[in-house]
Structure 1
Amino acid sequence: MGLLDLPAPVFAALDDGMAWVLPPTPRLALWAAIAGTCTLLLYRALSPQARIGRAKRTAREARQRLNRFDGEFADAGPLIKEQFVAAFKHLGLVLPSTLLSILPLLALLVWIETAYGYTYPAPGNTPTLTTVPGEFQSDWIGEGKPPEQNGERSPLRHILVRDDEGVITEVVLTAPVPVIAQRQWWNWLVANPLGYLPENSALRRIEIALPQQTYLPFGPPWVRSWMVIFFPVMLIVSLLVYRWARIE
């Protein structure tokens, strides 16, 4: 589990509770409203609002003095320096709080991509599998079909990858995730729920063409994804909270 995956059980429990009264699309909108509100209020609590306000006024005054300057460009050096110093001071006050306040949002986005991004194919349907490199043979096994190498009943939805000598790996789909690859350095931050391919294997990546979940009844697939619901709602709520809370 990666660092940003730690809150996932909490998000899942809350979502399961909301599912008793709300279908997926309103739940997405509610998650977006929560994300926009909490991110802005957390930023307000963590940031030095009074100092940021003074820095903004100082930067604005420096910019106005530079705009009013009517002399030679060579004589404008002190005013240009003053403007840059004020701008960087403002940035230095804002940046740490911004980075801290978006961490919960990033964790929520990671969870939503898994929970609301893709789904399993309908019974009897087989998704397209692509291996990198493409010299391997991959088989989708679902609905309790027995794999070829033994007579035991297999787990629901898993993938067998073979080379000329036989099966080299098996991936059980415990979550609707469309990619599994070898572990990378960034997986300490965001882990793959399916695990990872063996590092000593020539197989580097498996892509699974899982169907994308849709939340609007019209438009191409990319317009009907969770992002089209989540981000506009979050933006609108964030702007409203920004004005209501008078955040600097």
Structure 2
Amino acid sequence: MGLFDLPAPLFNSLDAAMAGFMPAALRLAIWAVLGSVLTMFLYKLCSPQARIGQAKRDAKAARQRLNAFDGDFADAGPLIKKQFTTAFRHVGLVVPGTLLAILPLLALLLWAETHYGHTLPAPGEAPTITTVPEGVATHWDDRTQPAKLSVGDAGAPIAQFDMTAPVGIVTKQPWWHWLAENPLGYLPEDAPVEQIRIDLPVLEVIPFGPAWMHSWLFVFIPVMFIVSLAIYKWAKIE
């Protein structure tokens, strides 16, 4: 289990509890609100708000002095230097807290993509499967649950995967797998196949409108943006 996968059991439990009386779109809206609240207040807690506020004022004052300067360009050097110095100081104070605050949000986004991004095909319907390089045989078997994906000759497959999650890609184990693991597993390092792509159906969170509206992102991103902006203004976060 990767670092960002650690909260997944908690997310699964809470989502399953809400699923009994809430549609998927409403659950996603709640997740977006929770993600926004946690991220914004964690950023406020982890960042030096007073110093950031002073850095913003210093950067604004430096810009105003440069804009008001009416002399030769050669004499503007100290003002330009001051503007860049204050701007970089502001960024340097903001970045560490931002990086810490987005870690839980990344875990939530990765879980949501796995949980709400796609769905497995209905029984009797096999998805389109491609390999990189092309031409390697694959076999989809849904006579048992979960369905099984085999790669290579049926008699001696290169690899087999139980489709325990609606994940549309399988690769060899990357160096960053300790951050987020593929729940299906990985191809053997000596396999002649680098990647398997499974064309899974998109989970339609919103069952109406054009196809681009059906994705979970159409609910999650707007709600998260609006709530984050509201918290930023209400909590006076620098």
Taking structure 2 as the reference length, the TM-score comes to: 0.96
Match of 2:197 in 1: 207
Match of 1:131 in 2: 131
Q: Which moved more, 1:120-129 or 1:76-85?
A: 120-129
Match of 1:34 in 2: 34
Match of 1:60 in 2: 60
CA contact (8 A) 1:212 1:221 kept: no
2:186 is aligned with 1:196: yes
Q: Name the amino acid aligned to 1:157.
A: A
The partner residue of 2:151 within 161, 170, 183 is 161
2:109 is aligned with 1:109: yes
Aligned length: 238
> What is the CA distance between 1:176 and its match in structure 2?
0.8
Q: Which moved more, 1:125-134 or 1:52-61?
A: 125-134
2: CA distance between counterparts of 1:28 and 1:195? 27
Q: Name the amino acid aligned to 2:217.
A: M
Match of 2:143 in 1: 143
2:171 is aligned with 1:181: yes
> What is the CA distance between 1:212 and its match in structure 2?
0.7
2: CA distance between counterparts of 1:44 and 1:156? 44
CA contact (8 A) 1:131 1:206 kept: yes
Identity %: 55
1: CA distance between counterparts of 2:182 and 2:152? 22
Taking structure 1 as the reference length, the TM-score comes to: 0.92
CA contact (8 A) 1:5 1:190 kept: yes
> What is the CA distance between 1:163 and its match in structure 2?
4.1
Match of 2:211 in 1: 221
1: CA distance between counterparts of 2:236 and 2:71? 38
Match of 2:49 in 1: 49
1: CA distance between counterparts of 2:48 and 2:220? 29
2: CA distance between counterparts of 1:19 and 1:165? 41
Structure 1, unmatched stretches of 5+, are 145-154
1: CA distance between counterparts of 2:222 and 2:22? 19
2: CA distance between counterparts of 1:61 and 1:143? 70
> What is the CA distance between 1:16 and its match in structure 2?
1.3
Q: Name the amino acid aligned to 1:228.
A: F
User: Cα gap change, 1:142/1:164 in structure 2, threshold over 3 Å: closer, same or farther?
Assistant: closer
RMSD of the alignment, in Å? 1.3
CA contact (8 A) 1:141 1:156 kept: no
2:118 is aligned with 1:118: yes
Q: Which moved more, 1:30-39 or 1:226-235?
A: 30-39
> What is the CA distance between 1:17 and its match in structure 2?
1.5
> What is the CA distance between 1:165 and its match in structure 2?
7.4
Q: Name the amino acid aligned to 2:199.
A: A
Structure 2, unmatched stretches of 5+, are none
SS at match of 1:140: strand
2: CA distance between counterparts of 1:215 and 1:194? 23
1: CA distance between counterparts of 2:216 and 2:154? 41
Q: How does 1:11-26 map to 2 (within 5 A)?
A: 11-26=11-26
